[in-house]
């Protein structure tokens, strides 16, 4: 079983839609839950992260973690064409040297 | 602005050639990584280094080697390039904190003919 599973998409939605991106993981020791965003022909950049369970909001973006079901979500409200990118989830154990990444979900927001 | 710089954005090499991919970071980070990224497979870790002259194998080290002679520089070497090494290569680094946030370079797209 892979440590992190993420639907690779692609996902295409109209501008203004609410987008839900999801990952599942198998290792209950994960403590940090990162979301990276990667634009075409660029390297990934950290979008936001949460520690342990719960929600974290940053503008139009909300990261949510449910440790009981080992489920990670990223919600984008009022999606914009500039949100078109690949989104990668990356759970992490504090102190671990290696990160594990989901496959990445390719998202397109259509004007 | 902190940076990870990959010297070559696009390379085309022939099968059997030796290939060097260079990565330099200016953030005094201890940890550096090389990933490859392929459609449908996501990011896969090739090698990483947590200190000068130290290296650790990642998930797919076969066919690759690395060198870290200075803290800021981490090189990926393909001793004899093969067509199945055609890929996007990403270098990244982080400093030890609670959440080890990776800073990535822009990537090096390698095509092996």
From chain B, pick out residues whose CB is under 8 angstroms from the CB of A92. Answer: 99-100
**Rounded Cα distance, A50 and A30, in Å:** 11
pLDDT, residue B2, reads 61
In this prediction, residues B87-96 reach a mean pLDDT of 91
pLDDT, residue B109, reads 96
Residue B113: pLDDT band with limits 50, 70, 90: very high
B50 in A contact zone (CB under 8 Å)? yes
pLDDT tens per residue across all 111 residues of chain A? 778 999 878 999 999 999 999 999 999 999 999 999 999 999 999 999 998 888 999 999 999 999 999 999 999 999 999 999 999 999 988 777 778 899 999 999 999
pLDDT, residue B50, reads 92
From chain A, pick out residues whose CB is under 8 angstroms from the CB of B4. Answer: 43
SS3 for A23-70 is: EEECCCCCCEEEEEEECCCCCCEEEEEEECCEEEEECCEEEEEECCCC
* First-to-last C-alpha distance (Å) of chain A: 38
Cis? peptide before A10, omega within 30° of 0? yes
Nearest to B79 by CA among B58, B61, B93: B61
Question: Residue B95: closest CA among chain A residues belongs to which residue?
Answer: A97
Question: Residue A30: closest CA among chain B residues belongs to which residue?
Answer: B99
**pLDDT tens-digit readout, B27-83:** 889 999 999 999 888 899 999 999 999 999 999 999 999 999 999 999 999 999 999
Whether A49 and B4 lie within 8 Å, measured CB to CB: no
pLDDT, residue A93, reads 85
Yes or no: say if B106 and B7 are a contact pair by the CB < 8 Å rule.
no
pLDDT, residue A71, reads 94
Q: Determine how β-strand A71-76 pairs with β-strand A85-92.
A: unpaired
Residue B11 pLDDT greater than 80, yes or no: yes
Whether A44 and B90 lie within 8 Å, measured CB to CB: yes
Structure tokens at A111: 């004007």
Mean pLDDT computed over every residue of chain B = 93
Nearest to A76 by CA among A94, A90, A64: A64
Yes or no: say if B90 and B43 are a contact pair by the CB < 8 Å rule.
yes
Q: How far is B27 from chain A (nearest CA, A)?
A: 16
Yes or no: say if B23 and B76 are a contact pair by the CB < 8 Å rule.
yes
From chain A, pick out residues whose CB is under 8 angstroms from the CB of B98. Answer: 32, 51, 94
Structure tokens at B113: 């003919």
Task: State the DSSP H helix or E strand holding residue A7, giving kind and residue range, or none if neither.
Answer: none
pLDDT, residue B17, reads 97
Question: Residue A101: closest CA among chain B residues belongs to which residue?
Answer: B43
**Rounded Cα distance, A42 and A57, in Å:** 25
Whether A34 and B99 lie within 8 Å, measured CB to CB: yes
Q: How many residues does chain A have?
A: 111
pLDDT, residue B40, reads 83
Residue B7 pLDDT greater than 90, yes or no: no
């Amino acid at each position: 079983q892979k440590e992190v599973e993420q639907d690779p998409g692609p996902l295409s939605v109209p501008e203004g839609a609410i987008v839900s991106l999801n990952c599942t993981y198998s290792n209950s020791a994960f403590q940090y839950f990162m979301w990276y965003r990667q634009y075409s022909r660029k390297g990934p950049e950290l979008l936001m992260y949460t520690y342990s369970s719960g929600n974290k909001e940053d503008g139009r973006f909300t990261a949510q973690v449910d440790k009981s079901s080992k489920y990670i979500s990223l919600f984008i409200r009022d999606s914009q064409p500039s949100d078109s990118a690949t989104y990668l989830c990356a759970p992490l154990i504090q102190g671990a040297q290696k990160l594990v990444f989901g496959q990445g979900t390719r998202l397109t927001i259509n004007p | 602005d902190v940076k990870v710089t990959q010297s070559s954005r696009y390379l085309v090499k022939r099968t059997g050639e030796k290939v060097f991919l260079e990565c330099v970071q200016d953030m005094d980070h201890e940890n550096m990584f090389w990933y490859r990224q392929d459609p449908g497979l996501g990011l896969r870790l090739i090698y990483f280094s947590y200190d000068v002259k130290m290296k650790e194998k990642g998930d797919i080290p076969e066919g690759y080697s690395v060198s870290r002679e200075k803290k800021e520089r981490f090189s990926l070497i393909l001793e004899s390039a093969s067509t199945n090494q055609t890929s996007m290569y990403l270098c990244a680094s982080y400093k030890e904190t609670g959440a080890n946030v990776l800073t990535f370079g822009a990537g090096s797209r390698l095509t092996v003919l």
